[in-house]
Amino acid sequence: MFLLAARLRNRSLAAMSNRLLLVDGHAYAYRAFHAIRSLNAPDGSPTNAIFGFIKMLQKMLVTLKPTHLLVTWDGGLAAERLAALPEYKANRPETPEALVSQFPQLEKWLDAAGHSQLVKDGTEADDWIGTYTRRAEAAGWKVVIASSDKDFLQLVNEQVGLLNPIDKSDKIWTAADVTAKTGVEPAQIVDWLALVGDAADNIPGVPSVGPKTAAELLKRFKTIEVLYGRLAEIKSEHQRAALLGAADAARRNQLMVRLNCALPDGPELDALVSRAPDKTALRGMYQRWNFRSLLAELGDELVAPPVPQQGSLW
């Protein structure tokens, strides 16, 4: 009995030491592409997104020292969201061809560097991140999500933090940071976004209800369901009419912004440990792209699998 208890305790302690970094691949590739305006290989092909993405990922590995890593890519828009709102993300411009051409190279680099990645047709990267966040939580792991997408605020809790590349402090956002930024708790983010809408995803909110008003309503009523059950308590006739007129839209928006955290399939959590890099393949890529600084780093810890050390931000 004592040995069983000791094994269970050791297993629990091992799980708590696991730290999963989930990276929103397309978001970081876009950010790198626009941050470095012009960079080309000797053959003239663009490499700005590749170089910027590699440097940003290296920085995260060194700073966070995760034990496990997964980069997720968009495989298309979720059918259920398109069915609910055909205009979903229709406002987004076409991806520049100079960036499109770099995605396959980024995927090859991740394979050569020994890092796990995941893409599936018809599945959004956000839902993979939500799914692996919940899987890691259930296993007792800690998680950091690397993305500027505010949809991920709904996942933040004691085990889950958010690394927002727009935040120059490089801190890991906690639930307190989410509340300080939005005025609501992470568990209310879905309802908050349902009321406010999301212009980036072409999701219209309730007319005349901005972030501050939405936060005040949720502070008072807690949820959209309670709010619509007590509309008569809203003193402003204009606000009450706006909420009533957008009732269906608000409930639809809950579906739009709530992440699907129960996708099937995908690799097991333990398989997300970074493998030893293929230095021969990396060397060939860096030579082809003329990445001289990265060539000089080969063999350095920056391209090796991350090793847990003291001093991590976790």
Q: What is the per-residue pLDDT across 173-225, written as a single tens digit (0 to 9) for each? A: 999 999 999 999 999 999 999 999 999 999 999 999 999 999 999 999 999 99
pLDDT on residue 177: 96
CATH superfamily of 186-257: 5' to 3' exonuclease, C-terminal subdomain (1.10.150.20)
Q: How far is CA 88 from CA 107, 144, 197, in A?
A: 27, 27, 12
List of residues 6+ apart from 257 with CB closer than 8 A: 151, 154, 189, 190, 193, 194, 198, 201, 203
In the chain (314 residues long), the average pLDDT of successive 10-residue segments reads: 47 70 97 94 97 97 96 96 96 94 98 97 97 98 97 97 91 96 97 96 95 97 97 94 96 97 96 95 97 86 43 50
Query: Token match 């406010």: residue?
Result: 196
Secondary structure class of 308 (helix, strand, coil): coil
CATH superfamily of 17-179+259-276: 5'-nuclease (3.40.50.1010)
Secondary structure (DSSP) of 234-272:
---HHHHHHHHHTHHHHHHHHHHHS-------S--GGGG
Q: What is the per-residue pLDDT across 97-135, written as a single tens digit (0 to 9) for each? A: 999 999 999 999 999 999 999 999 999 999 999 999 999
CA 239 to CA 107: how far, in whole Å? 49
pLDDT on residue 308: 42
CA 203 to CA 221: how far, in whole Å? 23
Residue among 50, 52, 151 at smallest CA distance from 109: 50
Return the CA Rg of the chain: 22
**The tokens of 156 are what?**
């933040």
CA 254 to CA 206: how far, in whole Å? 12
**The tokens of 185 are what?**
């708790």
Residue among 126, 144, 107 at smallest CA distance from 200: 126
Q: How many Cα atoms are found within 13 Å in the side-chain-facing hemisphere of 190?
A: 17
pTM of the model: 0.90
Classify 6 in phi/psi space as left (phi over 0), alpha (psi -120 to 50) or beta: alpha
pLDDT on residue 314: 59
Residue ranges, comma separated, of all CATH 1.10.150.20 domains in the chain are 186-257
Residue ranges, comma separated, of all CATH 3.40.50.1010 domains in the chain are 17-179+259-276
263: how many CB neighbours lie within 10 A of its CB? Answer: 18
pLDDT on residue 16: 63
Q: How many residues does the chain have?
A: 314
Helical pair 247-257 and 189-196, crossing angle rounded to 10 deg: 130
Classify 89 in phi/psi space as left (phi over 0), alpha (psi -120 to 50) or beta: left
